[in-house]
């Protein structure tokens, strides 16, 4: 027996119902896939270090970038190149600067904590760039845990170019 369209839940076919050439994040449904699995209390979140938030935020940010570049379909190497170009510290620092006008005082404080916690970093990257990237990751981790809808809003404010419009794929 074949399932009728009415019997299939919208969540089951999130990717299938996106028109060819459409960007993956034109629909709220895709972003809701990133909601936290476990809800932490406010005191538990306050106990997390900025580095712990950055650790989580790094994964959240990369997941968003990976999902953004899913459409249109590409070869695996091109997927990889697209993602790597966007998750580099230099690009994250640029994304942070583009988001700053949208941030609340609390979010700016999270950025400051993340920036101050960033020590060391790769030798190929200037320390200030590394601190900015870490602060962005801290914010992403914090919002993932505290306000996923706000996180989704900020993701939609990022200046990501679709690959077809000249988005960089160089490493």
Q: Which of left, alpha, beta for 166 (phi over 0: left; psi -120 to 50: alpha)?
A: left
Active site residue 58: yes
Catalytic pick among 17, 58, 126, 147 = 58
Both structure tokens of 102? 């949208």
Give the mean pLDDT of 13-31: 44
Give the mean pLDDT of 162-170: 45
- Per-residue pLDDT of 28-63, as tens digits, reads 555 555 666 677 888 999 999 999 999 999 999 999
Report how far residue 34's alpha carbon sits from residue 95's, in angstroms, rounded to the nearest whole number: 20
The confidence score (pLDDT) of residue 9 equals 34
14 pLDDT above the threshold of 60: no
The confidence score (pLDDT) of residue 161 equals 67
């Amino acid at each position: 027996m074949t399932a009728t369209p009415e019997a299939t839940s919208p969540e089951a076919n999130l990717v299938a119902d996106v028109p060819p050439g459409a960007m993956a994040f034109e629909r709220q449904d895709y972003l809701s896939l990133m909601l936290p699995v476990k809800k932490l209390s406010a005191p538990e979140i306050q106990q997390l270090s900025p580095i712990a938030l950055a650790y989580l935020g790094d994964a959240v940010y990369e997941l968003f970038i990976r999902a953004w570049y899913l459409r249109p379909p590409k070869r695996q190497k091109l997927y990889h190149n697209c993602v790597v170009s966007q998750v580099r510290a230099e690009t994250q620092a640029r994304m942070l600067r583009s988001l700053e006008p949208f941030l609340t005082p609390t979010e700016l404080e999270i950025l400051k904590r993340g920036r101050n916690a960033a020590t060391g970093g790769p030798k190929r990257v200037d320390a200030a760039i590394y601190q900015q990237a870490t602060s962005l990751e801290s914010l992403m981790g914090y919002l993932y845990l505290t306000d996923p809808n706000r996180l989704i809003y900020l993701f939609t404010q990022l200046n990501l170019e679709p690959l077809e419009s000249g988005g960089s794929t160089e490493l």
